[in-house]
Amino acid sequence: MRRIAWISIKSFGLAAIVLAMGAGLAAAQTPAKPAGKSQNACINCHQNLPGKLGDPVKKFKKDVHAQKGITCVGCHGGDQTSSNFAVIKSKENGFIGRPKVTDIPELCSKCHSHLEYMRKFSPSIDVGQLSSYKTSVHGKLLAKGDTKVATCASCHGSHGILPASNAASSVYPPNVSETCSKCHSDTNYMKGYKIPTSQHNDYLQSIHAELLMVKRDLSAPTCNDCHGNHGAFPPTVNSVSGMCGQCHVNNRNLFDKSPHKKAFGALRLPECAVCHSNHKVLRASDKMVGDTPPSVCVSCHAKGSKQLQTAANIRAQLEGLKNVIGQANNKLESAEHLGMEVSEAKFNMKEARSALIKVRTEIHTFSFPDVKKKTEEGKKVAEGALQAALAAIQEFHGRRRWVIFPIVLTIFLAGALYLKLREIEGNDRNRG
Amino acid sequence: MRKLNTEESSSAKTDSTPSWLTSRVPLAQVLEFLSHKTVPWHRGSHWYLFGGIALLLFCVQVATGIMLMFYYVPTTDAAYESVLLISAKVPFGWLIRSVHSWSANLMILALFIHMFSVFFMRAYRAPRELIWVSGFLLLVLAMTFGFSGYLLPFTKLSYFATKIGTDLTKLVPVIGEEMRLFLLGAETISGPTITRFFALHVAILPPIFVLFLIAHLVLIQLLGMSEPMGTKESRSIPFFPNFVLRESIVWVLVLGLLAVLSVYIPWEVGEKADPLAPAPAGIRPEWFFTFLSQSLKYIPATVLGIEGEALGVYAIGLGGLIFFLVPFWDRWADRGIRHWVVTVFGILAVIYLVTMTSLAYFKPY
């Protein structure tokens, strides 16, 4: 799912790309056509102009549209081949100048919603951005005349649009949260919308941001992976697990079967976010489960309740497995340092560690018997490896004990030979 | 009466055994030769015992090597696993493998000590030049044994160390690249390389080594052991039993040491080689090649327009050649002169080898 979402952001990159500049409202009743070798009167003039009038020319050189042969008239209309200023900017030639904010989505969609045109650039390209946008909060507010909301150019830019796969693009995954935060973290700008502005700060502290922005793991989520991109919307309380479940499939499936699903739905609590938070999703810890703080269970369940007892039991199972794995690892390391061959047991430990991950996933059932069953599987493997390590260490010490025999034999033989030598040489001296 | 008959019968059996044997094998001449053979004995004679130690360790190598061959499989898929099997499952396999590895390293150490003792005592002087030559070549062969054997377990370290080692053969003028390809049997270390290194280790080097060993021992028999320069009144001891007993004491002690080392510091197997993985940190050849690898680290990429690595290898090779040819340029020794040039050359060689080897282990970068 997330992949699909990302494909659409990528395609929009290309899109907005080919789009934003795409088709002039007036001039481009049909998709823009790449310019021929004729002159570009717009650039000839604007490249010599200072500030806002000259900057677009500089930025446009790197723009993906420019690379695909789309020129200024593709979006702004007019006739770039003329040398007559009146003809260039004439309404008859479809000149629209700077498009209005409310017109931008339609302007871009002239190309980007046109499948036959767009698939020349990529056979599987998405052309549904406009229809998605219309369902988004941004799109709905725009339709009501709110021009503060994001349109295509707000996220993709206008004259320097890069494909989403380009690391310098504003919609390249690690840059997305920064792009969204330009509006969503601005308290003045967001005044009146009655939504928090701390999302970006919270997100930056999350494990998702660490993976995406520090470790550059592009599979880690950013804003659009949960909220959508063109169809951006706030998830409803009972759709949260669907969101997280795009990646955390097993956790979602187990949660959906758990008693919490129904209870959270009744209480209108946002599922996964209740324990893990929404934007500030910290690295999950085993301490989150149990009957004492910092367990998240205690924030809802009463002290001494049956549910907290279950949480405590689950935590005990988890710690028990971790303890056996830790012991096995330590002993295997010791055996290895002693030069003993324990590679088979070490290999088996991968299964034990995998079992620990499964147990942590199984916690989302909130069922002690289920967690215990998975824990026992892991313990069995880890204890097997522990026994192998202990046996190897025991064998090592056994070997050391046995080495006393060659030592004694060596001393005895060397001593006997030395005495014999002395006897012979003593006899020789007596004779000589 | 009954007792007397038993004694007679026993006596007859004892008498008949040597007569049967001596009528078929000329043992009497051999024993006669040995009973009259003497060897010089002086303050430096103990150093000669290292030659005997190396010989003993070579015999241990052969014996344990044959045992390892029962289980070792020379393919990229099975080499590492077969070594694991030997170390973990085969009864006493760990001990055999550990003894094989320890004896190999101790043998090279003994050979180095033996060579330098001969060098400093000028025992290579005429007419014993060929004893020196055959001995030096035995050391080179032993190091080649080590190089070829290092790859066989196909561990990560041995893979990359062998890669670096075989890449150095490219520096040999004209035929370097062909030599490398011949050694590897392919463009990179792969199945054919293990097969070739295994063949080299167990089929090609052993007979060559034995031939040189026989030549070395026969020449020592024919020419006798060298006596220190300037000895006026030489003392000698009977080869049998006096010298043999001395050597036997040392052999017993070395075997004891080998057993203790093999048990207390067993040779680890390490991680399996992964040709697609990046080279791990701390790649190092076997200790007796570290002087070479460490020296190359200090040489700039280019020196006077010549590739630094090539220059280093040629310089070290030239030094080794001068060392190898010492019996032919140290004419002072033939005249009984212990010249300082030779002594300083030897001391510098020892300092260089010890320093570079130590740096490779304690300060490699």
Closest residue in B to A342 (Cα) is B88
Position with higher pLDDT, A207 vs A25: A207
User: In this predicted structure, what is the pLDDT of residue B3?
Assistant: 44
Mean pLDDT of A6-32: 41
Distance of CA B72 to the CA centre of its chain: 22
Partner-chain residue, chosen from A338, A414, A424, that has the shortest CB–CB distance to B252: A414
Within 8 A by CB and 6+ apart from B250, the residues are B49, B52, B53
Instruction: List chain A residues with CB under 8 Å of B267.
Output: 339
Q: Is A343 on the interface with B (CB under 8 A)?
A: yes
Query: Which residues of chain B are modeled with pLDDT < 70?
Result: 1-18, 232-233
Nearest C-alpha in A relative to B242: A421
Lowest mean per-residue pLDDT among A14-28, A58-72, B142-156: A14-28
Mutation target to probe the A interface, by most A beta carbons within 10 A, among B94, B244, B251, B271 is B94
* Rounded CA separation B194/B184 (Å): 8
- B252 and A340 within 8 Å at the Cβ level: the answer is no
Q: Give the mean pLDDT of A249-262.
A: 93
Residue A426 with chain B: CB contacts under 8 Å: none
Rounded percentage of chain A residues whose pLDDT exceeds 90: 67
Contact of A158 with A56, CB cutoff 8 Å: yes
- State whether A417 and B265 contact (CB < 8 Å): no
DSSP string, A196-241: -S-HHHHHHTSHHHIIIIIS--TTS--HHHHH-STT--PPPGGGHH
Q: Which residue of A has its CA nearest to B92?
A: A399
A339/B252 Cβ within 8 A: no
Residues of chain A found within 8 Å of residue B237, distances taken between Cβ atoms? 425
Instruction: Look at residue A240 in the predicted model and tell me its pLDDT.
Output: 85
Do A413 and B246 count as a contact with CB atoms less than 8 A apart?
no
Tens digit of pLDDT for each residue in B176-231?
899 999 999 999 999 999 999 999 999 999 999 999 999 999 999 899 888 888 77
Q: End-to-end CA distance of chain B: give it in Å, rounded.
A: 85
Nearest CA in chain B to A429: B237
Q: Does A418 touch chain B (CB under 8 A)?
A: yes
Q: In this complex, is the C-beta atom of A422 within 8 Å of any C-beta atom belonging to chain B?
A: no
Nearest-CA distance B90 → chain A (Å): 12
Cα distances (Å, whole numbers) of residue B243 to A159, A350, B40, B255:
95, 59, 10, 18
Closest chain A residue to B80 measured between Cα atoms? A343
Dist CA B199 CA B208 (whole Å): 13
Instruction: Tell me the chain A residues in contact with residue B84 when contact means C-beta distances shorter than 8 Å.
Output: 341, 343-344
What was the pLDDT predicted at A219?
93
What's the pLDDT score for residue B15?
53
Q: Do A418 and B266 touch (CB under 8 A)?
A: no
pLDDT at A319 over 70: yes
Both tokens assigned to A327 = 């012991």
Chain A residues 100-159 with CB within 8 Å of chain B? none
Within 8 A of B154 by CB-CB distance, chain A residues are none
Chain B residues at the A interface, defined by Cβ less than 8 Å, are: 84, 87-88, 94-95, 237, 241-242, 245-246, 248-249, 252-253, 255-256, 259-260, 263-269
State whether B269 and A406 contact (CB < 8 Å).
Answer: no
What was the pLDDT predicted at A191? Answer: 92
Domain ranges for chain B: 40-271, 285-365
Would you state the pLDDT for residue B236? 85
Contact (Cβ atoms closer than 8 angstroms) between residue A25 and residue A125: no
Q: Please give the residue that has the higher pLDDT: either A209 or B7.
A: A209
pLDDT at A23: 35
**Partner-chain residue, chosen from A342, A410, A425, that has the shortest CB–CB distance to B252:** A410
Q: What is the ipTM of this complex?
A: 0.79
Write down the pLDDT at residue A432. Answer: 64
Closest alpha carbon within chain B to A423: B242
CB pairs under 8 A between A and B: 64
User: Which of A340, A403, A417 is nearest residue B248 as measured by Cβ atoms?
Assistant: A417
pLDDT at B17: 62
Pick among A337, A341, A411 to test the B interface (most B CBs inside 10 A): A341
Question: Which of B240, B244, B245 should we substitute to test contact with A (largest number of A Cβ atoms within 10 Å)?
Answer: B245
pLDDT for residue A16: 41
**For chain A, which domains are there?**
2-234 (no CATH), 306-402 (1.20.140)
Cβ contacts of A402 on chain B, cutoff 8 Å? 263
Q: Which of B252, B264, B266 sits opposite A413 (nearest CB)?
A: B252
pLDDT value for A2? 42
Which range is least confidently modeled, A21-25, A80-84, B361-365? Answer: A21-25
CA distance B234 to B44: 12
A414 to chain B: nearest residue by CA? Answer: B249
- pLDDT at site B339: 94
Region for A115 from its dihedrals, namely left if φ exceeds 0, alpha if ψ lies in -120 to 50, beta otherwise: alpha
Q: What is the pLDDT of residue A28?
A: 39
**CA A275/CA A301 separation, integer angstroms:** 13
pLDDT for A134 beyond 90:
yes
Q: Tell me, yes or no, if A340 comes closer than 8 A to chain B by beta carbon.
A: yes
The confidence band for A35, taking pLDDT boundaries of 50, 70 and 90, is very low
- The fold adopted by the segment(s) B40-271 is Cytochrome Bc1 Complex; Chain C (1.20.810)
Burial of A167 (0-12, 13-18, 19+ CB in 10 A): exposed
Instruction: With a cut of 90, say whether residue A84 has pLDDT above it.
Output: no
In chain A, DSSP finds a helix count (H) and a strand count (E) of 24, 0
CA angle A356, A203, A10 (to 5 degrees): 95
Q: Which of A343, A414, A428 sits opposite B253 (nearest CB)?
A: A414
Chain A residues near residue B91 by CB distance under 8 angstroms:
none
Q: What is the mean pLDDT of chain A?
A: 88
Residue A235 or residue A10, greater confidence = A235
